[in-house]
Amino acid sequence: MRNIIEVKDFVKKYDKFTAVDNVSFDVEEGSIFAFLGPNGAGKSTTINTLCTIFDKTSGTLTIDGKDVSRERDAVRGVIGVVFQEPTLDNKMTVMENLIMHCHFYAIPKSEVVERIQFVLELVELLDWKKAMVSSLSGGMKRRVEIARSLLHYPKVLFLDEPTTGLDPQTRAHMWDYIVKLQKEKNITIFLTTHYMDEAEICSKVAIMDGGKIVAMDTPYRLKQQYTKDKANITTSDEQGLTLLLDAAGFIYKKKTGYYSIEVDSIPKLMEILSEQKDSITDLEIKKGTLNDVFLAITGKDIRK
């Protein structure tokens, strides 16, 4: 797989404030790449620079081999963008919005109807094509935006916090569309989010904090590297368990009704479990989350 996005030593400064500090990364064609981080980490600045809106301070950024600063129009032709804030024409219908987009991207007249049909079907909004945009719900507007951004068959789709402000059900739906797109159309998807569960679906995650990428890998490997499994055990023989845990050198916390144990090695835990098998009444093993990864790397909880 070739890299469709290549960023090397990207720096973006606003006066004296450095928003993005020497960031480098590549995105493979056809993958879902996520920028994860709290507000103000530099995610939107990076995405806006890649979308040709902002100018870089230094570094090289290319999309599909084209330089983002020097070949703006060429880059604009191969990307689709869904911004954090709505950019639909509220005074027009869904259909009219999509037709206008076709004009902007010089889509051949003969294909316009067919393409609109296709994108509306994808986001399940065919029945709404004659509706005024202002009459749609927030989730529907987002879907129209996604549909619109696909009209010119972009190679890379940028989604800046695509699900912020949507209800859980619409969020889940949104993700169905995103994954469908990536699988069926081989579109590279570049998104930013601060929802950890969303980042889990991505092929690669870059964690940003304070303008730097602090970790970058697949979600699975990130969790493997930075988090430990937790075992929550409830037992009738608390004294016995405490002794065993201390002897084996586990780090644990005694909570009301259960022990929360950090698992270094599964075999060692198995030994304890087998010795305690008659007194254990409840066992829960928890995998680390990306939030734990974030916490481990930055010492901060992303949700705060």
Partner 1 sequence: MDIILALWYRNIKIFARNRVQLVFTIIMPFFFLYVFSSIFKNDSIENPVNYMLAGIVITTVFQTSLTIATSTIEDIVSGFMKEVLVSPVKRIQIAAGQLLSAATIATLQGIIILIIGYFIGLKFTSWITPFAVIGVMIVVGLVFSGLGLFLAALVKNSQTFQIVVTAITMPMTFLCGAYIPLSMLPKTLQYVAYLNPMTYTTAFFRTIILEKTSLTTNQMVAEQLAFKIGGFVITPLISMTIVIIFGLVFLLLSTYVFSKVDFSRINRSKSKEADIFS
- Partners of residue 27 on adjacent β-strands: 5
Q: Give me the residues that bind partner 1 (CB under 8 A), please.
A: 14-15, 17, 19, 40, 48, 51-54, 73, 76-77, 79, 81, 83, 85-92, 96, 99-101, 103-106, 148
| Nearest distance, CB of residue 103 and partner 1, angstroms | 4
Cβ distance to partner 1 smaller for residue 56 or 204: 56
Least Å distance between CB 58 and partner 1?
Answer: 13
Tell me the two tokens of residue 54: 């902002």
Q: Strand runs (DSSP E) across 105-222, as ranges?
A: 156-160, 188-193, 204-209, 212-217
CB atoms within 10 A of CB 116: 23
Considering the complex, what minimum distance in angstroms separates the CB of residue 20 from partner 1? Answer: 11
Of 39 and 169, nearer to partner 1 (C-beta) is 39
- Closer residue to partner 1 (CB): 15 or 278: 15
What is the number of other CB atoms lying within 10 angstroms of the CB of residue 41? 25
Nearest to 171 by CA among 148, 198, 149, 146: 198
CB of 266 to partner 1, least distance (A): 46
Shortest Cβ 3–partner 1 spacing (Å): 21
Taking the least distance from each CB to partner 1, the nearer of 25 and 105 is: 105
- With respect to partner 1, which residue has the nearer C-beta, 28 or 96? 96
SS (H, E, C) 192-242: EECCHHHHCCCCEEEEEECCEEEEEECHHHHHHHHCCEEEEEEECCHHHHH
